[in-house]
Homo-oligomer: A and B are copies of this chain.
């Protein structure tokens, strides 16, 4: 029996199916859409992807992804305030930037500590963070790690390892999200919000 699609197209479907959110079936559907829009969508997408694959590089200072050795944020002098926001991932950095409230620079760890997966401090960019605190005259480290077990373990490790560095260490507040309904919140969040209650 012969293949249901030509070999080149099967190869493309297999690669697409490795993207998060796409399985074999939806990858096939996506490729069919691309095949129908070869000129308007498929060729520009291939070009954009090749362009980014060629030009994207990790910022040597913070680990953000940009198109130069220093990312746009590290290259921006207006953001040279003595605060560094530590995030797990570039996705988290983008989320902070969308919120548009932090005016300083970032440090992207590239993951969290995980004993199970054998990820230690030297696998992340934690030693690099200590060097930046020493060299850049940082006054405050804001830990914006995810409120997961691994994220909080990593936050505690960083706070411990920087405890003698003479820098203020803060973390994002935990509590009821804007628009959140108590009925739908987990017990842990309600407990954290109660403990951190403020005068009204």
Spell out A's residues near B (CB within 8 Å).
1-6, 8-9, 11-12, 15-16, 18-22, 26, 28-35, 38, 41-53, 55-56, 65-67, 71-73, 76, 89-91, 93-95, 97-98, 100
Contacts and interface: CB of A to CB of B under 8 A. Distances in A.
Nearest to A5: B94
Most buried by B among A1, A18, A49: A49
Contact of A4 (B28, B51, B94): B94
Given A12-B52, A22-B30, A35-B90, 7 more contacts: A2-B76, A6-B56, A8-B67, A21-B21, A21-B26, A32-B91, A43-B53
Contact of A65 (B6, B19, B28, B91): B6
A71 B8 CA distance: 13
Kindly report how many copies of this chain are found in the complex they form together.
2
A72 B4 contact: no
Given A2-B72, A20-B33, A21-B21, A8 B49 contact: no
Contacts of A52: 8-9, 12, 31, 34-35, 42
12 contacts: A3-B97, A4-B94, A5-B65, A5-B94, A6-B71, A6-B72, A15-B48, A20-B26, A20-B30, A34-B49, A35-B52, A50-B50
